[in-house]
Amino acid sequence: MIVHPIDYRYGTPQMKRIWSEDSKIKRMIRVEIAILKALAKKGYLDPSQVERVKKEAVKIEPEKVKQIEAEIKHDIMALVKAISEVAGEASRWVHFGATSNDITDTATALQLRDSLKVLDVRIRELIKLLAQKADEYRNVVCLGRTHGQAALPVTYGFRFAIWASEIGRHYVRMKEMEKRLLVGQFSGAVGTQAALGREGIEIEEEAMRILGLKPAIISSQIIPRDIYCEYVEFLANLSTTLEKIATNFRILQRAEVAELSEKFGKKQVGSSTMPHKRNPIDAENICGLARVVRGFVEPQHQSSILWEERDLSNSSAERITLVEPTILVDHIITKMIKIVRTISLNLSNVRKNLDAQKGLNLSEAVMIALTRKGLSRQEAHEIVREAAMRTTSSFSEELINDEVVKNYLDDDEIQKLLTPENYIGTSEQKIEVVLSWINSVLR
């Protein structure tokens, strides 16, 4: 019986494969083999024996391990027994000096590494798409809004550049996090490697080298969970930016704004009762699932608070707190890539919404001009504010007829000040700064 929506509705097959139960078991077998190889290098057993174990162990079906677990009620010991059954002479050395979390935590590092490879590709693609839109729309002047109200003009290129820079910073965070996150361990029951003696550090380093990981600097029975907290916080932070972008896409698709449109399929249905509807379902999907992702931050932090060298209160939670947010973030970033790639801009509505302000949203431009002409900034603010409050149809006429304003600005100057294209400041230069920075980040 399938219950969880991740099984049938959310997540890409690629990411779900990484975090499947079968995948975890296969990776744990890899860890046990790597430990045997490291032990063989120190003379515990012959390397040829390890090769025979490897040949047979990779054939172990996850179902076999689960059958043993059902009997003995211990997942890792079930794995050890399954490997030992096919290990022949090397069976005496299977799991030698190891504790359960040496296997599970190191296998988790392998899953995290593969997950980051997937996210790396996705994030890079999204950054590139956002940067392309920033470049494409750099000269599309639109109505800026603060508090949901008309503000100064901005450009759509500027908006996309802001979003691209934010995703870019997440990419930088991810790359910086990797060196702390992708670590494994072979530390034994309480972290002291007592069963291995003074060779413990060298054996651990060799096992991690074989797996392509770095050993944790120090660990108890488990790898310290602050690194998992950092990972889940990264996913939460990334999901927040994705929701921010999606929220703005939703706002800008409202019927009374209608400046952006998600792609709508030829046979797509927007409503079961209102045939005209074209709902922003992908953006809404991102917003909803991003909120779920952020909900995993606190449980993961709680899973870091363990008794002495370790208790088991984290285990059940981490079967969820690492898996679900990873799959959901991969899902929503894939959705965002789809939206950005196919979203369309209605230039006529962009212009209509801008012109509907009749220059009122450029009140700052007039205030600044009056200040440059000799008025104090505060006096200029009050004069322009009063003219704006009096305006019922034409802001420019109110300014032209204002007894103070006409002493400083002529009609032509006022019209130029109320032209949106003349008041976008350094938006184009800022876009160039972002595009240049992104090129350096993705190099």
CATH no. for 225-262+273-345? 1.20.200.10
pLDDT value of position 189: 95
Helix (H) or strand (E) holding 152: strand 149-155
What is the percent of the chain where pLDDT is above 70? 100
pLDDT value of position 1: 82
Single-letter code of the amino acid located at 90: A
What integer is the mean pLDDT of 23-47?
A: 97
Domain 15-87 in this protein, CATH class = mainly alpha
- The two tokens of residue 15 are 């990411």
Task: Evaluate if residue 263 carries a pLDDT over 90.
Answer: no
pLDDT value of position 333: 98
pLDDT value of position 40: 97
Beta carbons within 10 angstroms of residue 346's beta carbon: 16
Q: pLDDT digits over 290-323, tens only? A: 999 999 999 999 999 999 999 988 988 999 999 9
Where along the chain do its domains lie? 15-87, 225-262+273-345, 360-417
Q: What's the pLDDT band for 2 if we cut at 50, 70, 90? A: confident
Task: Evaluate if residue 431 carries a pLDDT over 90.
Answer: yes
What integer is the mean pLDDT of 147-169?
A: 97
If you average pLDDT over every residue of the chain, what do you get?
95
> What's the rounded Cα separation, in Å, for the pair 342 and 157?
16
Judge whether 159 and 141 are in contact, CB under 8 Å.
no
pLDDT value of position 227: 97
Single-letter code of the amino acid located at 18: I
CA distances from 383 to 366, 370, 371, 388, 419 (A): 10, 10, 11, 9, 20
What integer is the mean pLDDT of 78-89?
A: 95
pTM metric for this prediction:
0.94
pLDDT value of position 265: 78
pLDDT value of position 360: 95
> What's the rounded Cα separation, in Å, for the pair 288 and 253?
17
Task: Evaluate if residue 31 carries a pLDDT over 90.
Answer: yes
Q: What are phi and psi of 346, to 5 degrees?
A: -90, 95
Tell me, yes or no, if the two domains 15-87 and 360-417 fold the same way.
Answer: no
pLDDT value of position 150: 95
pLDDT value of position 266: 81
pLDDT value of position 278: 87
pLDDT value of position 436: 98
Beta carbons within 10 angstroms of residue 32's beta carbon: 27
pLDDT value of position 273: 84
pLDDT value of position 214: 97
Task: Evaluate if residue 269 carries a pLDDT over 90.
Answer: no
What integer is the mean pLDDT of 256-277?
A: 86
> What's the rounded Cα separation, in Å, for the pair 349 and 234?
37
CA distances from 440 to 184, 372, 435 (A): 31, 39, 9
> What's the rounded Cα separation, in Å, for the pair 263 and 163?
20
Report the range of poorest mean pLDDT among 130-134, 262-266, 298-302, 376-380: 262-266
Topology of the domain comprising 360-417: Ribonucleotide Reductase Protein R1; domain 1 (1.10.40)
Q: Mind telling me the catalytic residues?
A: 147, 271
Task: Evaluate if residue 47 carries a pLDDT over 90.
Answer: yes
